[in-house]
Amino acid sequence: MVGSDRQHLLNSSNEVAAPTAFAGIVLVAPFGSLPSLLLTYRLGGLVPLLLPLRPFPRLANALTSRMIDTWPTALRLARYSHALAANSGLLESKEDDLSGDGSAVRREMGAVQIIHALNDMDIAYEQTEMICREVMGDDRVTSNASRGSVMFNERQLGRPRLRAEILQHGGHNRIATYSAVSIAVLKAITGRFD
């Protein structure tokens, strides 16, 4: 996506009258966009789809530009983050009784959590890094995950939390059964990240 299109979509988030703050968003082995996925995706971890076209960006762009829906996950999450930043009152819930004992607590809302495995042979963990760079608006976001498991947990003032965990093992499908995913869902529901 060209820079002006990206900026237009980011700026258009200001046009939304009342965004919705979800309790949290949990993504497991996500991709930044369908075109970026197809350029790195390996079917069954072995057969590259469009990977042989990477040395020929014009040909790759010609194919991916014909897609009707590009599933721009990274861009949509960036828009979500910007919309909540423009309405920072949505980042905390009203007092809720989550404890069951009648005590009211405020919980953090809108957090985006991403879990990915370093050894995911289908969708490369670099897709998670790309999403984090887009949401944070910072090209310097890298995980150095090649050295092992990595945790990125950032909450900028007035913006929803971005938490990414790249685990050393788990592959593409098995990672969904790991406790890290259950913990992320629990954190989203309770809004507690301590």
Residue 98 pLDDT: 57
Residue 104 pLDDT: 65
What's the CA gap between 2 and 184, in Å, rounded? 33
Contact 139, 132 (CB under 8 A): no
Q: Ramachandran region of residue 151, left (φ > 0), alpha (ψ -120 to 50) or beta?
A: beta
Could you list the pLDDT tens digit for every one of the 194 residues in the chain? 445 555 655 565 555 466 788 889 999 999 999 988 888 888 877 777 787 887 888 988 888 888 899 999 999 999 999 999 998 888 887 666 555 666 666 778 899 999 999 999 889 899 999 999 999 887 766 666 666 678 888 888 888 999 999 999 998 889 999 999 999 999 999 888 87
Residue 100 pLDDT: 62
Rounded alpha-carbon distances, angstroms, from residue 187 to 55, 100, 119: 42, 17, 25
